[in-house]
């Protein structure tokens, strides 16, 4: 089983990793948006610490 690489992720990186569109991904992360500092409609980069929170919530892609 391949494990996802932790590193800095952009929003586009998350979409590519999970193979979904932005509306679907945002629905999936509603519960952790505040915790990871997700801002709708803005470009962002997420450090490994926040990427791990997403992986813990959704499972590794």
d(CA 16, CA 36): 18
Rounded to two decimals, the pTM is: 0.90
Q: Looking at the domain assignment, is residue 4 inside a domain?
A: no
What mean pLDDT comes out for the span 2-14? 87
d(CA 2, CA 26): 24
Q: Looking at the domain assignment, is residue 45 inside a domain?
A: yes
d(CA 34, CA 20): 21
Q: Looking at the domain assignment, is residue 3 inside a domain?
A: no
Residue with tokens 């409609």: 41
> Number of H helices and number of E strands within the chain?
4, 2
Q: Looking at the domain assignment, is residue 1 inside a domain?
A: no
d(CA 5, CA 30): 23
Dump pLDDT digits (tens) for 30-42: 999 999 999 999 9
Domain count, the chain: 1
Q: Which domain, by its residues, includes 46?
A: 9-58
């Amino acid at each position: 089983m391949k494990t996802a690489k932790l590193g800095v992720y952009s929003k586009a990186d998350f979409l590519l990793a999970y193979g979904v569109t932005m509306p679907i991904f945002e629905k999936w992360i509603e519960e952790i948006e505040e915790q990871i500092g997700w801002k709708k409609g803005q470009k962002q980069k997420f450090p490994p610490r926040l990427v791990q929170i997403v992986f813990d919530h959704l499972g590794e892609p």
